Amino acid sequence: MRARLLLLAFAFPAASCAAPPGREQVLMEEIERTISLPDDAYPMRTYARHYAFRSPTAVEAVYVIPIEPTDWQEDVAAFTRGNRRAPTAREIEDIKAMNALSREQWGGAGRRYWHATPDMLPMISDGGCAQLTIRYDPAIKRFSMVGCNGEVPSASGSR
């Protein structure tokens, strides 16, 4: 799984965004105040929370569990199992660099980011509740989707 996560690290720009304008700030607070996370989800504080307008009437959000700084060691172990050999020093440095890039792009736990387009939202190819996908209509204040990645999302995300 980690190898797939790392491969996607180069697929989107960094999460470092300027502070969101007032409307976006209010929307993020509204979503976080009213959402009911899936039963298998982690506590809200553990996710880096990313938002963007999908359309004028829809906000899309992706919550991800950031990669911890020591995860490169797990990736070295996975590399060794998959290739039946230990990685070279250069391959270890590449693994560390990809993990650092992923952390930069996914942001920090407990932090939130507003992106210019939904194409800039982070995405992993699997991960269960390590990634949540959310769609919210601010006009009617309802969630149309709240779910763990790789599962059929629920339309009942509001309390």
CB 153 within 8 A of CB 147: yes
Q: Look at residue 21 in the predicted model and tell me its pLDDT.
A: 66
pLDDT in tens, 97-156: 877 777 777 888 999 999 999 999 988 766 789 999 999 999 999 999 999 987 555 555
HSE at residue 158, side-chain half, CA atoms within 13 A, is 12
Q: Is the pLDDT of residue 38 over 60?
A: yes
Q: Look at residue 7 in the predicted model and tell me its pLDDT.
A: 38
How far is residue 128's CA from residue 140's CA, in Å, rounded to a whole number? 28
State the chain's mean pLDDT as an integer: 79
pLDDT in tens, 40-58: 999 999 999 999 999 988 9
The residue with greater pLDDT, 73 or 115, is 115
Q: Which of the four pLDDT bands, split at 50, 70 and 90, describes residue 5?
A: very low
Q: Is the pLDDT of residue 62 over 60?
A: yes
* Percentage of the chain lying above the pLDDT 70 cut: 75
Q: Look at residue 149 in the predicted model and tell me its pLDDT.
A: 86
Q: Which of the four pLDDT bands, split at 50, 70 and 90, describes residue 71?
A: low
Q: Is the pLDDT of residue 39 over 50?
A: yes
The residue with greater pLDDT, 133 or 73, is 133
How far is residue 158's CA from residue 55's CA, in Å, rounded to a whole number? 20
Helix (H, G, I), strand (E, B) or coil at 101: helix
